[in-house]
Amino acid sequence: MPKMPKFENEAEEAQWWFDHRDDLSDEFARRAAEGTLGEESVARALKRRRERAESDQVLVLSGSRAH
């Protein structure tokens, strides 16, 4: 399974997942057959995604200017 790189944007990440869909499917099937699928790996992936999303947040202020 190829190592996931850091992506510049969502489109680049989507393309990576699309390009590696067969590898990912094979890896999933292999782990399912071995009985090594588990919540921990899913939880880790979600945590990584959440941390990345939090670090990418931008504060946008709107409203009128003080006069």
Task: Please tell me the total count of domains within the chain.
Answer: 1
The answer to whether position 21 is within a domain reads: yes
Do the Cβ atoms of 16 and 4 come closer than 8 Å? yes
The answer to whether position 19 is within a domain reads: yes
* 67: three-class secondary structure by DSSP: coil
The answer to whether position 41 is within a domain reads: yes
2: nearest Cα among 10, 14, 53, 21 = 21
The answer to whether position 61 is within a domain reads: no
Higher pLDDT, 21 or 55: 21
pLDDT of residue 67: 52
Question: What separation, in Å, do the N-terminal and C-terminal C-alpha atoms of the chain show?
Answer: 58
The answer to whether position 5 is within a domain reads: no
pLDDT of residue 48: 75
The answer to whether position 2 is within a domain reads: no
State the residue range of the domain holding 31: 10-55
Phi, psi of 62 (to 5 degrees): -135, 165
